[in-house]
């Protein structure tokens, strides 16, 4: 194969992978000591890998639900203390109307049998932002409530 042919095949593939790597954020980039709660309407949804993502529009009068600490959360294969996270949950300090919510890879959402979220769906999320809520308004979801049911997203169902 000539060098030009190899480059014609390899370069587009490398660019595609680079874009996916840049779009994917691991857990280490998020402040896991400060769980945040958001709820609102999904205004845009991207159901794709490396992880599904949605834009959540929060209401102006967002408040922590009084029953949040008592909500049942499903067990995950990862060691996640869901009740402790719910008890420690706070509202974000920033008042962005729209937040990007990073969900899990599609295979994990399928393992949880989580329904596909559509634009217009009401969603609640407990997750983590960057330390000090710096940068873009992005929340990495630990738990998502859709249709009144909770889904754990860090790992597979236990």
Coil, strand, or helix at residue 154?
Answer: coil
pTM, full prediction: 0.81
If phi > 0 it is left, if psi is from -120 to 50 it is alpha, else beta; for residue 143 that is beta
Distance of alpha carbon 11 from alpha carbon 38, whole angstroms: 40
Domain hosting 145: range is: 27-152
Residue 35: phi and psi, rounded to 5, are -70, 135
Q: Is residue 96 one of the residues assigned to a domain?
A: yes
Q: Is residue 60 one of the residues assigned to a domain?
A: yes
Q: Is residue 18 one of the residues assigned to a domain?
A: no
Q: Is residue 80 one of the residues assigned to a domain?
A: yes
When the pLDDT of each residue in the chain is averaged and rounded to a whole number, the result is 86
Residue 145: phi and psi, rounded to 5, are -110, 120
pLDDT score of 67 more than 90: yes
Give the CATH number for residue 97.
2.40.50.140
Question: pLDDT digits over 100-152, tens only?
Answer: 999 999 999 999 999 999 999 999 999 999 887 778 899 999 999 999 899 99
Q: Is residue 127 one of the residues assigned to a domain?
A: yes
Q: Is residue 98 one of the residues assigned to a domain?
A: yes
Question: pLDDT digits over 14-37, tens only?
Answer: 434 444 433 444 656 777 889 999
Residue 104: phi and psi, rounded to 5, are -95, 170
pLDDT of residue 4: 58
Total number of domains constituting the chain: 1
Residue-wise DSSP of 106-153: HHHHHHTTPPPP-TT-EEEEEEE-SGGG-SS-EEEEEEEEETTEEEE-
- Let me know: does 77 contact 61? Beta carbons within 8 Å: no
Q: Is residue 102 one of the residues assigned to a domain?
A: yes
Q: Is residue 22 one of the residues assigned to a domain?
A: no
pLDDT score of 11 more than 70: no
């Amino acid at each position: 194969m000539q060098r030009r042919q190899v480059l014609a095949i390899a370069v587009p593939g490398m660019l595609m992978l680079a874009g996916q790597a840049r779009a994917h954020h691991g857990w280490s980039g998020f402040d896991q000591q400060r769980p945040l709660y958001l709820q609102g309407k999904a205004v845009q949804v991207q159901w794709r890998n490396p992880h599904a993502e949605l834009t959540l529009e929060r209401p102006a009068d967002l408040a922590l639900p009084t029953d949040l600490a008592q909500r049942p959360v499903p067990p995950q294969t990862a060691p996640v203390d869901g009740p402790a996270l719910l008890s420690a949950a706070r509202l974000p300090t920033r008042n962005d109307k729209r937040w990007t919510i990073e969900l899990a890879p599609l295979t994990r959402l399928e393992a949880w049998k989580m329904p596909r979220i559509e634009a217009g769906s009401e969603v609640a999320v407990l997750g983590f932002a960057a330390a000090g809520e710096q940068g873009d308004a992005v929340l990495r979801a630990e738990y998502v409530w859709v249709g009144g049911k909770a889904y754990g997203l860090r790992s597979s169902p236990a």
